[in-house]
Amino acid sequence: MAAVANFDNIFVRYDLVGEVEAKGARVASKNPALQRVMQCVVEGDTDNIVDAVNEALKVADPLEVINEALVKGMNEVSRLWDEGEYYLPQAIIASDAMLMGLEICEKKMGQSLEKKGVVITHTAEGDIHDLGQKIVNALLRANGYEVIDLGKDVPVDEVVAAVKKYKPVMLTGTALMTTTMTAFERISNRLRKEGIELPFVCGGGAVSLEYVSGFDLGIWGKDASQAPGMAQDAVNGLSWQQMREKWNA
């Protein structure tokens, strides 16, 4: 019986891929304390982010630490993700580090940072592949949005009820399979029947521009990195038609 001599092409440690590149990330600050915070976020260094942020708060106010270090670090993570240098594990732990730092800054300010708006995210009914949704969650939170994460395999009724309850500026849905993405059109129809209009961004491996353009409210999300920009458009008052024209033309 033949034996496999090399497992490199079978098993890939995606948590290690990109580790070296992260050290060369394009983040820089003239302030060494802010630079250290950025580096902790980019490298997902949850062991040292607390110490780094506390040191930075000795020389900078909380908002400066947030905007000039935490957010910039997460923006760099987004770039590395876009360019295929980072995979899901790096993005998740970077988000964890960023959120840990954000919590410290908010305590220092004595109040939570005002959120730009509420976004509901979910993975389609019958679909348990929620990796893309996790990335969307991380990027939206990093950019100052409150995310209502409904999780995976979410029934249509539950999505509609959440929209009615939380009144988000935008709804997102992720699906990996063609058999599950049909839930998006059912959600759109239910929302329209309830008289609700909002941008409904749909993406994932099986989801195509042609499919999403076939029902009201739908806007095709090519990849997770578009989510913050789309949410900003929703906050600015663009309708789902205007957003479809902008992002899917």
Higher pLDDT residue, 225 or 232?
232
Is residue 26 very low, low, confident or very high in pLDDT (cuts 50, 70, 90)? low
- Comparing 11-20, 27-36, 146-155, the range with the smallest average pLDDT is 11-20
Q: Hey, which CATH number is domain 32-109, 3.30.465.10, 1.10.230.10, 3.30.565.10, 1.10.1240.10?
A: 1.10.1240.10
Per-residue pLDDT for 119 more than 80?
yes
In whole angstroms, give the CA distance from residue 62 to residue 71. 12
Residue 2's pLDDT is: 47
Task: Give the position of tokens 């499919």.
Answer: 211
* CA 17 remoteness from chain centre: 20
Amino acid at 223: D
* CA 40 remoteness from chain centre: 19
Give the mean model confidence (pLDDT) for residues 119-128.
93
Q: Are 27 and 76 in contact (CB under 8 A)?
A: yes
Q: Are 249 and 218 in contact (CB under 8 A)?
A: no
Give the mean model confidence (pLDDT) for residues 214-243.
94
Give the mean model confidence (pLDDT) for residues 93-100.
86
Give the mean model confidence (pLDDT) for residues 93-119.
85
Per-residue pLDDT for 35 more than 70?
yes
Helices (H), the chain: 19-22, 32-42, 49-56, 62-65, 71-82, 88-109, 131-142, 156-166, 182-193, 209-212, 227-235, 240-248
In whole angstroms, give the CA distance from residue 217 to residue 185. 9
Q: Structure pTM?
A: 0.67
Domain spans, the chain: 32-109, 118-248
Average pLDDT, the chain: 85
Is residue 76 very low, low, confident or very high in pLDDT (cuts 50, 70, 90)? confident
**How many H-runs (helices) and E-runs (strands) does the chain carry?**
12, 5
In whole angstroms, give the CA distance from residue 176 to residue 174. 7
Rounded percentage of the chain residues whose pLDDT exceeds 70: 87
Q: Assign domain 118-248 to a CATH class.
A: alpha beta
Per-residue pLDDT for 6 more than 50?
yes
